[in-house]
Amino acid sequence: MGDDWSRWLDEAPEEGEPSGRPVRTRAPVVRLRRGKREGFDVEAPEPAQRPILVVGGCGGAGTTTTVLGIAGELATAGNPTVAVDATAAGSDLALRGADEHLYPISLQSWLYGRGNDEPAPLKECMSQASSGIGLLWRDGAPLRRRATYLTVARAIYDAGFTGVYDGGNPIAGRQLRPLLDDSDVALVLAIPARADAANRLRVALEWLDDQFGDSAEGQGAGIVGDTTIVVSHQQPGADSRVADHLREHLSGWVRDIREIPYDPHLARGELVRHASLAPETRRAYARLLAGVAS
């Protein structure tokens, strides 16, 4: 598959240590997207943005706050948006994001709410955030009747909403494969701003390339070329060495590398209210969304 890009990172540099490697020029992203997706309702209003899957490159990567930030910016721009818990056994997505109303219906209950494998009306089953987004939480029960998250994505698409999916960690979770295999779904790979997390990112990218790549695809192509890396700052300060190191080694291989600054509102671990985020945090999510959803 062209050059051996898997050697891009051995160790993140210590403070003040230059890496000495030239920066690659950005390669075009050629991961192809289909037009109207097979099996989707052609009569439904098409969402204005691509669905987005956020997955952690390691534990504690900030996938939930990234999902809520992206979804909040989408809703602010007037796009009907739903944040979806796409973890294997349920996360705290709705508990963190539903600052207006936490609805007692789970994703599974919504998906089969009408019987005969038909979902209930989405607007009536979502938890709500004050930013305008809806949220679907899931419990630990499996999806029934051979349903997958592609089933969920189709139902959300048919309802005219953009889905932003919190895949949690690990990226190799079986439940995420249908979304990873769909080229219409934009992929965001989140890590904390730590050197060890940057080093572990290589494993996730190699796995993506092995599982979903194509021997005919070269630099900047396929699923890796359509992946946006998000470096989340979870400690005070503006140390960008990890993000800069990734830009040096991955520019041209991935779609983009973005940073989310430290925000005291997010750091408290309580309800995330989009309006309470710092202006720079909001701008960072807006810049991330502009690249991911294009």
All domains of the chain, ordered by start, with CATH?
48-292 (3.40.50.300)
What's the Cα-to-Cα distance from 249 to each of 25, 96, 134, 256, rounded to whole Å? Answer: 10, 34, 37, 12
pLDDT higher than 80, residue 71: yes
SS3 239: coil
SS3 258: strand
Whether the Cβ atoms of residue 54 and residue 65 lie closer than 8 Å to each other: no
Read off the pLDDT of each residue in 173-182 and give the average, rounded to a whole number.
94
Whether the Cβ atoms of residue 169 and residue 207 lie closer than 8 Å to each other: no
User: Which residue type, as a one-letter code, is found at position 177?
Assistant: R
3-state helix, strand, coil in the chain (%, to 5): 35, 15, 50
pLDDT digits (tens, 9 = 90+) for 8-21: 554 554 444 544 44
Q: Which of 59, 68, 232, 260 is nearest to 166 (CA)?
A: 68
pTM for the model stands at 0.85
